[in-house]
Amino acid sequence: MAVLGDFAISYASAYETLVQAKPITCATTGTVFEAVIAPTAIILDPFGVPQLHATRALTGHSVPIISWLTGGASTLIRNFGPESIGGTGSFGAKVEAEAARTGKPALQVGEELYRHTDGTLVEVPGLPAIDAQLLITSDAYEKESLDAVRAWFSDSQKPVYAVGPLLPAASASTRSDLDESGTNVATFLDNALQKYGQRSVLFISFGTNFWPAKNLEEVIGVLIEKEFPFILAHGSPFAKLSEELTQKVKSSSLGLLTPWAPQQFLLNHPATGWFLTHGGHGGITESLANGIPLIAWPFEADQPAAAAHLSENLKVAFELLEVRTGLGLQRLHRNGKTPKGTPEAVVEEIRAVVDAARGEEGEKLRKNAEKLKEAFVAAWEDGGAAKVELHHFLEKYA
């Protein structure tokens, strides 16, 4: 948190320099960049509230602030939208009221309300005072949710720009760019391609901030049992790999444990067939942009909703249910299943998923993922939805 505070302070200073159209110095390298035209719009993460206040303090409403949301449109609705369309409503007002009623600190009340669940079914079809909303999602991925966001924002006459999917250039991760860890990944994939064929490898990554507290050993055990080659990226500071599991993977010759993986290169390799992920929006987008179906292991935030959308609506993923813990073990409204959450149930489920992935159902998911890949490409072609939206954004603010 201290780092975020320092960033907020440095932002205010840097923004003031840019507004004054003066040269600016990189705090890390000392490189001096020549003065440029003062900003005509500011794009901020919705959690950058200190930066928002600093911007308003310096330039008021003369420089528009556009919210930059890196999740899906449905997440925007649920976290910040009105209750009438499935949102949580005015969270701040609820915190203040509960703090006044109980005498508890507002921070404690906020944490309790954020985590609270009572089994109520939420149907999803706000933000600090911003001037527009910039989304990195697309109609191809979640048109119904995007339409609901547009309707919501139209009430306040604030535009919504959906400029997704946002992906790095195809050359962003080539073999020549790889470091030692990346080279090991490339070698493993090349060998797997020769031995097991195309689309045979499972890539496993839980991102930077998530790691399963349990059940990973059961999943890895089944992959080895089923001779399903895999790469497990464990770059998270929360990652824990037992010595027993590490040795088991090494002796199997079926898996590669790596602290870092070149995700773009890996997902584009012909040996890669599946992506087991926590369900962050960026990883989902990158996987589908390569036509790779997913196995979802969600934790919190936007991930459970994304997993349901991927598996139930888009039909490009299997969702693991038996790995759930805590309140996640309650009966699921969508299919009536109640996860057991036992190691035995996890083993049974992952065996079934592996068999399905290699069978007819897996092929159906792959074909659906390929269709989304084509839709993602079309979004950035001339006349495509993302390109048109970006053009409208630049027309207004650039």
Query: What are the structural domains of the chain?
Result: 2-87+122-162 (no CATH), 174-377 (3.40.50.2000)
Q: Over the stretch 240-255, which tens digit does the pLDDT of each residue have?
A: 899 999 999 999 999 9
Residues 6+ apart with CB under 8 A from 143: none
Question: What's residue 335's pLDDT?
Answer: 84
Q: Over the stretch 18-68, which tens digit does the pLDDT of each residue have?
A: 999 999 998 888 999 999 999 999 999 877 888 999 999 999 999 999 988
Q: Does 117 score more than 80 pLDDT?
A: no
Residues 6+ apart with CB under 8 A from 220: 230, 232, 245, 248, 249, 255
Q: Over the stretch 92-116, which tens digit does the pLDDT of each residue have?
A: 888 888 888 888 888 887 877 776 6
Question: What's residue 126's pLDDT?
Answer: 36
Task: Pick the closest to residue 215 from 343, 326, 43 (CA basis).
Answer: 343
Question: What's residue 1's pLDDT?
Answer: 45
**73 — pLDDT class (breaks 50, 70, 90):** confident
pTM (two decimals): 0.81
Q: Give the H/E segment covering residue 67.
A: strand 65-69
Cα angle for residues 7, 12, 14 (degrees, 5° grid) = 90
Say whether 137 sits in a helix, a strand or coil. coil
Burial readout 68-91 (b: 16 or more C-beta within 10 A, e: otherwise): bbbbbbbbbbbbbbeeebbbbeee
**119 — pLDDT class (breaks 50, 70, 90):** low
The dihedrals phi and psi of 134, each to the nearest 5 degrees, come to -110, 120
Give the distance, in angstroms, between the CA of residue 191 and the centroid of all CA atoms in the same chain.
30
Whole-angstrom distance, CA of residue 1 vs CA of residue 92: 21
